């Protein structure tokens, strides 16, 4: 598992591993990054579907409840194929933009 930290945001990605193993590694490593906004880069997975994205629901809900952003990045699944509580975007730039907007909303108590 690869962590790339920039300010209060951590980008998480992994190459050459199954989604199941990636999730297990992410759950084990979560304590290291729990205080950061998290971007999960899923571009290394050649095939993903909405069911795969739903596997991140528990972690996403728990992290967002602690007033931190949790954004999944892939262009293999459309955001309208997953529930609204999962933040899914097609590019890393959009993930950073979402985090910036959510930070502003938290600062303004919106």
Write out the chain's pLDDT in tens, 110 residues. 899 999 999 999 988 889 999 999 999 999 999 999 999 999 999 889 999 999 999 999 999 999 999 999 999 998 899 998 999 999 999 999 999 999 999 999 86
What would you report as the CA-atom Rg of the chain, rounded to the nearest whole angstrom?
13
Strands (E), the chain: 2-6, 9-13, 37-41, 70-73, 87-89
**Can you give the pLDDT at residue 16?**
80
Note the pTM of the prediction, 2 decimals: 0.92
Write out the two tokens for 31: 């304590």
């Amino acid at each position: 598992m690869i962590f790339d930290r920039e300010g209060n945001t951590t980008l998480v990605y992994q190459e050459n591993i199954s989604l199941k193993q990636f999730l297990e590694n992410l759950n084990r490593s979560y304590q290291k990054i729990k205080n950061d906004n998290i971007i999960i880069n899923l571009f290394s997975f050649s095939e993903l579907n909405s069911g795969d994205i739903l596997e991140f629901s528990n972690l996403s809900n728990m992290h967002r409840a602690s007033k931190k952003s949790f954004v999944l990045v892939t262009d293999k699944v459309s955001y309208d194929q997953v529930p609204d509580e999962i933040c899914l975007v097609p590019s890393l730039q959009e993930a950073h933009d979402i985090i910036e907007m959510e930070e502003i909303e938290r600062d303004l108590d919106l």
